[in-house]
Amino acid sequence: MELRHLRSFLALAEERHFGRAADRLHIAQPALSQQIKQLEREFGVALFTRTTRRVELTSAGSRFADHARAVIGSAERAATDMTMVASGQAGRVSVGFIGTATYDLLPAAAREVRSRLPEVRLELHGELLSPALLSGLIDGVYDLVVFRPDGSMNPEISSQVLRRERLVAVLPDRHPLARRDRINLAALRADPFVMHFSGHRSSMHEHVLAACAAAGFRPDPITEVGETATLVVFVAAGMGVALVPEPVRSLALEGVAYVELDDPATVDLAIATRAGDVSPATRQVADIVVRMST
């Protein structure tokens, strides 16, 4: 039994006439008659009663019509779904976001994907660190990631810079400089700092140290945290000051003030996929992330 046999059966069941059904299917009437006979031989039952003027479904034929419609409908839905997958309009995409991009880019991109690609199942993972994101991308945990590049090249990934972000100071709202519109970073040399993890666990740690070094000091003491939201909470609790990319202002937490810096350092935000291994849906989502990041 083939799909063409089912389509022929349904056409005859609806037209109740071999000639009209054959015309509808664009096949010769004898070919249609042969297909119906093949079905009846396969099932061992008559599907139609035939007269010189009309064709009627038997009780077995009426029962089989329900099955045939279900199979044809399922096949058509499968074909449509595969067409959408091939064009990137359907599928599953796992996306990992660096913590500092979780508050502005992640929700904006997710809304746009839901609007433009409703059949794409988006799996979002936020508040992650760049080394873990890149490892997860290479291992297949994520299909694309938004991260902080450190300048190193990996042939297993393909990346592009999305935007360059200025660093701003995060101060407890009772800090003497919290009400300033702009400060020099060197004014914070005596303050304890809250920073992302050091070593190979976070790229932001080195960016902040470099900015402070350019201002003529090294932060001391330092409290290290894993998530940007936790970092801002620690500042609100009075445990120190911090430097974060400007979009973190979206995290409007009570108890902190975001203050611009004179001649601020900048950090890059980038997107990456596995080199040569990008599904159509991943490509569509990546295009949306790129557009939303500008």
- Token duo for residue 176: 């003497």
Taking the CB of residue 34, how many other CB atoms lie within 10 A of it?
12
Q: What is the pLDDT of residue 80?
A: 64
Angle of CA points 111, 132, 249, to nearest 5°:
50
- Token duo for residue 92: 């599953």
Judgement on whether residues 157 and 103 belong to the same structural domain of the protein: yes
Which stretch of DSSP H or E encloses residue 124?
strand 119-128
Q: What is the pLDDT of residue 235?
A: 96
Domain at 95, CATH number: 3.40.190.10
Mean pLDDT (whole number) for 228-247:
94
Judgement on whether residues 171 and 231 belong to the same structural domain of the protein: yes
The structural domain count of the chain equals: 3
Judgement on whether residues 121 and 203 belong to the same structural domain of the protein: no
Across 82-91, 99-108, 123-132, 138-147, which has the greatest mean pLDDT?
A: 138-147
Range of the domain at 140: 90-163+269-292
Helix, strand, or coil (residue 129): coil
Judgement on whether residues 248 and 214 belong to the same structural domain of the protein: yes
φ, ψ for residue 198, nearest 5 deg: -90, -175
End-to-end Cα separation, the chain, in angstroms:
55
Q: What is the pLDDT of residue 13?
A: 87
- Closest residue by Cα to residue 65 from 15, 127, 117, 115: 15
Mean pLDDT (whole number) for 196-210:
85
Question: pTM value?
Answer: 0.69
Amino acid at 279: S
Judgement on whether residues 246 and 262 belong to the same structural domain of the protein: yes
Domain at 61, CATH number: 1.10.10.10
Q: pLDDT confidence of 102, banded at 50, 70, 90?
A: confident
Judgement on whether residues 185 and 220 belong to the same structural domain of the protein: yes
Mean pLDDT (whole number) for 213-239:
94
Lowest model confidence (mean pLDDT) among 122-126, 148-152, 154-158: 148-152
Q: What is the pLDDT of residue 112?
A: 92
Judgement on whether residues 62 and 207 belong to the same structural domain of the protein: no
Judgement on whether residues 140 and 183 belong to the same structural domain of the protein: no
Query: Residues 286, 278: contact at Cβ < 8 Å?
Result: yes
Taking the CB of residue 242, how many other CB atoms lie within 10 A of it?
29
Q: pLDDT confidence of 84, banded at 50, 70, 90?
A: low
Judgement on whether residues 193 and 244 belong to the same structural domain of the protein: yes
Q: What is the pLDDT of residue 87?
A: 66
* Residue where a domain stops, chosen among 87, 114, 145: 87
Judgement on whether residues 153 and 278 belong to the same structural domain of the protein: yes
Q: Is the pLDDT of residue 79 over 90?
A: no
